[in-house]
Amino acid sequence: MAILDQYGKTISYKAARAANDNRHRPWEPIEKKDISQLVPARDRVTLQSHARRIYLNFGPIKNAVNQRSMYSVGRAFVPQFAGEDSEFGSAAAAWLTGNFYPIGDTRGGMHDFKTNLFGWSSSIDVDGEIFILLTETKTGFPQYQGIPSHRIGNPQGFSDGPQRGGTLSDGIIYYTSGEAKEYAFLDNDGKLSEWLPASNVIHLFDPEWQYQGRGLTALTHCINDCRDIIQSTEWERLAMMQMSSISLIEYNENGGPDPDDNFGQLVGNAAGDKGMTVESLDGGTVRYFKSNSGGKIETLVNPRPGNPFLEFHDRLLKSAYAGLNWPYAFYNGHGVGGGTAQRTEIAMAQRSIEDRQDLLFYAAKRIISYAVAKAQKRGDLPQSNDWWKWEFSTPPKLTIDDGRVMKELESAYKLGFKSASDITAAMGKEYKDVIRQKAEEAAMRQTIAIEVGAKYGLTIDQRELAMMTPNEPSTPSPTDPNETPPN
């Protein structure tokens, strides 16, 4: 027997009932479309425009975007050769950091490679994407040019559809396979400047949907929330300014100030029907309200903004940070939970940083490989079969307690759970670079010991140059048989 509801109809337990419309929930159409149709070009540009305005004017959001970019890039992204030709790798790394990094950007000046990585990371969050054109000078020196999102789009007079042997959609021509063929580069007026071949363009964005052709701003979920916070804060600021202009309120039988007081200046009519007089006094104001009998003086008590106002803003900001994949505690301070909660928030931030670094690694490797290939063609670097094998250093991982983390790494190393390379990677360094630096220091100590020893006719124990404390035992010299060995 079927179970009936109060209207005599069979009760359905299908999951779709959770989305059924009723008198409290309006009907919505069922959309079975690609993301480019659900968020067409005009909607994407509108979201992008609002996101830029929020980033420029709203500190909490700007803080989240800049923090992730800063921790993702830092002072790292030093090129590290991963091939077998070490001689070529050393020469290429020196050429990249000394020649290409400072002037690879077509703009030159302060726009070095690491600074651009920071800007590209921020653009991924605010604009949703960044385009990078690989180009060169007249002499063949490799260069790149960053192209903001709004400069790639459908030119005036063009619409989505078949175009130039492919399908045009929001400024990009695709093959039937979905691979990009060309990009429409626009001038400041939205007219076509030139078609850029996809082989020369790096389109960098954080994909969240299948068949997503253009990046969406990371603020898509919270644009209205942020706009409401900004607007309500401005209104509250105006109310605060209005209230702060009132110094005292005096209630008396006259509804006005003492007529014999020569230090006040009246504004308004004390005998008016409104029963209120305003007096300017030392930059502030005193407002008089006529009372039935007696008199009193009060200071204005301002209860705004109250806790409901602040708590609601806090709730909206938490929602914004949740969608940004960045801990709210990095802006508002760590909440309850003590060290455990703080370590959880830092771990969350580190995962977000590593996710962003994966995107930046892709762009950096393509740009560096392109630069090295061009340098080989020009004769600036020798030929090598491993010219394309590159990795990059990363900033030190976030931690709440450096000493504690180092002890944990040390214990894991002694137990065999981690290698020395794992430890140096957590510090933002490369193990081979650390070993090379230690070898250089050892060679320097030996050289200086020999030089100074010859100057004074002494033999310097090199351990003395590297002792951590003055109480460390020294190995006796084998040429001194009279010296008593340590106990």
Average pLDDT over every residue of 74-84: 90
Among candidates 396, 391, 390, 389, which has minimal Cα distance to 429? 396
How many other C-beta atoms are found inside a 10 Å radius of the C-beta of residue 58? 18
Amino acid letter at 42?
R
Give the orientation angle of helix 59-73 with respect to helix 41-57, to 10 degrees: 90
- Kindly indicate the confidence band of residue 264, based on its pLDDT and cuts at 50, 70 and 90: low
Mean pLDDT of the chain: 84
Residue pLDDT, tens place only, 312-352 = 999 999 999 999 999 999 998 766 666 778 888 888 999 99
Q: pLDDT at residue 404 above 80?
A: no
Distance of alpha carbon 290 from alpha carbon 255, whole angstroms: 4
In the numeric block, which tokens belong to residue 77? 């992204």
pLDDT of residue 276: 55
Instruction: Return left, alpha or beta for 307; rule: phi > 0 is left, psi -120 to 50 is alpha, else beta.
Output: alpha
pLDDT > 60? residue 477: no
Quick: pLDDT tens for 198-240.
999 999 999 988 889 999 999 999 999 999 999 999 998 888 8
Q: For 443-452, how does the pLDDT look when each residue is reduced to its tens digit (9 = 90+)?
A: 888 899 889 9
